[in-house]
Structure 1
Amino acid sequence: MPACTINIKNKSYRDSEYSLFAEALNVNAEGGVFQPVYTTCTIPNSGQESFTIPNEYHVVFGTTREQVLGSGTTVETAGSTPVRVERGPTSPGTHIVVKGGQDRGMISLDRAAQRDDCSKSNAFQVDCVDFNPQSRFNQWIGLGQSNPGDESAIVPIAVFKPSNQTYFITPPSKYYITRGQFRPGEIFDPRTLSEPAQIDITGKTVVNVTHKVDGTWSVT
């Protein structure tokens, strides 16, 4: 998929705060997969803001100190590495190994073991080893993308608690815009939202989203 620019127009007749987040990933992770807020902005009435979602992905990881993953927890990237998604028999995806450090709490990448041999369609492969399920460090790994406001910063868009197994991660094709006060990296439960705007970026380079006065959305 190409990079996609999302233009948000505020026609709600009041200044509003908006948050962008990705659809839930289909990853077989114990405890589930969590959705942090990708980025936020404040748009005055009749104003407009734009986000560009890149066609580049990263494995991200970190810890949440004393907090377990769940609504209200904020995740920040401690480390990351770029990955390539499988695009056919002649373009395999990245296969990486992430180490949990047992009880030391230090997640690391086994760069010597990294290779490009993931054959699962539209995915990349992550092998997790040396993770202690009883670790007090609340470790997490996930999928990241560059911050739309700062391309040098890699931020998580989906996270989960790792165990010693193999994960195949397929990047999302849908993103959502919601109105509300959230922080970038804050995990929340999308089921608590009313009607966010759904954006399918498949094959698109530009999507226009208008927040209307009656609270509904127009997506073109």
Structure 2
Amino acid sequence: MPIPIGSTGLDRSLLRNDVYKRLRDAIVDGTFAPGEQLKDGELADWLGVSRTPIREALLRLGTSGLVVAVPGRSTTVTAIDADAVRDARDVIASMHSLAVRQMAGKLSADELALMGEANRRFAAAVAAADVDAALDADEELHRIPVAALGNHALESVIDHFDPVVRRAERLRFTHDGRTSVDLHERLIASLAAGDAEAAAAVAFGIWHSLPTDDGADPGH
């Protein structure tokens, strides 16, 4: 689709990371479709920034596999590749499993309550077929134990591969996200009970239920 018309521009003092996030989210949510060409000049006008942070953001997006740059031509949004999604999913699953294993029995009552509230919002979004709200609530839920752990290396790995996974995850929540509601409840219960192995197994299973090809993951 073309560059959105009438979108609110970003403050020119915006940090480069915010420009990256805006472009990343536009690819993940389908605003910029696979195969679409992204021209730095048009993107700069859209966001109200100079071309420099746009070019830096596109480079970062390239390392995550969301865009590909062809010399002498504009940058293009990549297609959702099953192998790339599967590889990213495996890394994400391992990182989240590690986080919840280490945080089992260590999260505060407030943190557990926040996870429960996020899951209730997730369930409501799934019931309303609001994919964007479901993705936001799902990400919030899973980020709580990760943030509590405070392992910046682990967070960096998740941040790098998460956009690839989130693109495919929209397929799951578009078709049926109700199974994830139950899995979230099991994850929260395991964390509250201090059952590290159960929490890790549930987290691993959640991410491995992600469809990687044609909306369904063979073997799940």
TM-score, normalisation: structure 1: 0.26
In terms of fraction of residues, the more helix-rich structure is 2
TM-score, normalisation: structure 2: 0.26
In terms of fraction of residues, the more strand-rich structure is 1
Asked which structure has the greater RCO (Cα within 8 Å, sep 6+), the reply is: 1
